[in-house]
């Protein structure tokens, strides 16, 4: 494997292997979005996710991850839970929102496992206008970040695009202490991809690098606390939070959003960014 300043650099063939993993995640999240409704438990969603990942030839990367070992295939974070919620008996109610984070590993012909990582926030039935807007702002900020990535640019260009979009949208909290990340043969690799930063700063972006961008935004504070389960991250003021994430790779053509079913083509073209499928 080639590295540039500790950042993994993939060949075009390896990027295509990552696309396979990204599609497993993207399709699984599409199924989960359709399954979200009042009366469904977060454990139900987890079971659906694990079956979807395995049926497509993947392995859930979250299962057994970290310390204490994460016990499920998705993170399911409801309302004031920001990220890393553990699926369980909680039943979704009309008016809730749920952030679902999903990761999968797919092996290439040589047996090397490639990771995909993405997240969506879904409304359970009707939610108040401010919550709907929180979700829209967070998702749009993700796409601004993705569209800011260029070969020869810097990680800070992505961070700045995310931050400036959220700040201009209103009085939201950009969650501190959690960032996007490099991804490839592991889920979490160099470099960090912060949701705040300055243009032109940070590691240089090169062809073959793959990153996960994941804004986490609240209706209140940027501060969080971790629950007694040692995983669930909750906003410190109990304000509701949204989380969207995609994994992308930089190619000679541009930005290829590996976990988006259309590769990101529609949103990138809308934002005037080069679409990088190879
Ligand atoms: Mg994730
Ligand atoms: Mg991630």
- Rounded to the nearest whole angstrom, what is the distance from the C-alpha of residue 259 to the centroid of ligand 1? 11
- Rounded to the nearest whole angstrom, what is the distance from the C-alpha of residue 269 to the centroid of ligand 1? 24
Q: What is the pLDDT of residue 108?
A: 97
* Residues 39-77: tens digit of each pLDDT: 999 999 999 999 999 999 999 999 999 999 999 999 999
- Rounded to the nearest whole angstrom, what is the distance from the C-alpha of residue 231 to the centroid of ligand 1? 14
pTM beyond 0.85 = yes
Closest listed ligand to the CA of 178: 2
The strand ranges marked E within 58-195 are 59-60, 74-78, 81-83, 97-107, 113-123, 173-174, 180-182, 189-193
Q: What is the pLDDT of residue 2?
A: 81
- Rounded to the nearest whole angstrom, what is the distance from the C-alpha of residue 181 to the centroid of ligand 1? 9
The bridge status of strand 180-182 relative to strand 210-213 is antiparallel
* Residues 9-25: tens digit of each pLDDT: 999 999 999 999 999 99
- Rounded to the nearest whole angstrom, what is the distance from the C-alpha of residue 31 to the centroid of ligand 2? 19
Token code pair at residue 105: 């590993």
Kindly report the CA angle at 212 between 209 and 216, in degrees rounded to 5?
A: 155
- Rounded to the nearest whole angstrom, what is the distance from the C-alpha of residue 175 to the centroid of ligand 2? 14
* Residues 134-191: tens digit of each pLDDT: 999 999 999 999 999 999 999 999 999 999 999 999 999 999 999 999 999 999 999 9
**The tokens 């984070």 sit on which residue?**
101
Q: What is the pLDDT of residue 100?
A: 99
Closest listed ligand to the CA of 188: 2
Other C-beta atoms closer than 10 Å to the C-beta of 196 total 18
Q: What is the pLDDT of residue 130?
A: 98
- Rounded to the nearest whole angstrom, what is the distance from the C-alpha of residue 102 to the centroid of ligand 2? 9
Q: What is the mean pLDDT of residues 218-238?
A: 98
What is the overall mean pLDDT for the chain? 98
CA distances from 65 to 68, 103, 201, 255 (A): 8, 11, 31, 28
Closest listed ligand to the CA of 181: 2
C-beta of residue 157 within 8 angstroms of C-beta of residue 265: no
- CA atoms of 150 and 152, how far apart (whole Å): 6
Closest listed ligand to the CA of 180: 2
- Rounded to the nearest whole angstrom, what is the distance from the C-alpha of residue 103 to the centroid of ligand 1? 6
């Amino acid at each position: 494997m080639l590295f540039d300043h500790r950042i993994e650099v993939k060949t075009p063939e390896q990027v295509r292997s990552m696309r396979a993993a990204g599609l497993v995640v993207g399709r699984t999240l599409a199924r989960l979005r359709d399954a979200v409704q009042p009366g469904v438990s977060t454990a139900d969603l987890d079971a659906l996710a694990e079956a979807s990942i395995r049926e497509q030839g993947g392995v859930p990367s979250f299962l057994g991850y970290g310390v204490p070992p994460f016990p499920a295939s998705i993170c399911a974070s409801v309302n004031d839970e920001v990220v890393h919620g553990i699926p369980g008996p909680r039943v979704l109610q009309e008016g809730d929102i749920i952030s679902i984070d999903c990761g999968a590993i797919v092996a290439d012909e040589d047996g090397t496992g490639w990771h995909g990582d993405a997240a969506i926030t879904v409304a359970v039935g009707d939610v108040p206008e401010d919550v709907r807007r929180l979700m829209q702002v967070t998702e749009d900020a993700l796409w601004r970040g993705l569209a800011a990535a260029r070969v020869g640019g810097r990680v800070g260009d992505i961070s700045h695009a995310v931050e400036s979009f959220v700040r201009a949208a209103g009085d939201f909290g950009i969650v501190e202490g959690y960032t996007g990340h490099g991804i490839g043969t592991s889920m979490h690799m160099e470099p960090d991809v912060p949701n705040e930063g300055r243009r032109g700063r940070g590691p240089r972006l090169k062809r073959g690098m793959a990153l996960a961008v994941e804004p986490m935004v609240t209706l209140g504070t940027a501060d969080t606390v971790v629950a007694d389960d040692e995983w669930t991250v909750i906003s410190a003021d109990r304000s509701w939070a949204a989380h969207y994430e995609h994994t992308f790779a930089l190619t000679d053509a541009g930005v290829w959003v590996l976990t988006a079913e259309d590769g990101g083509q529609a949103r990138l073209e809308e934002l005037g960014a080069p679409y990088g499928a190879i």
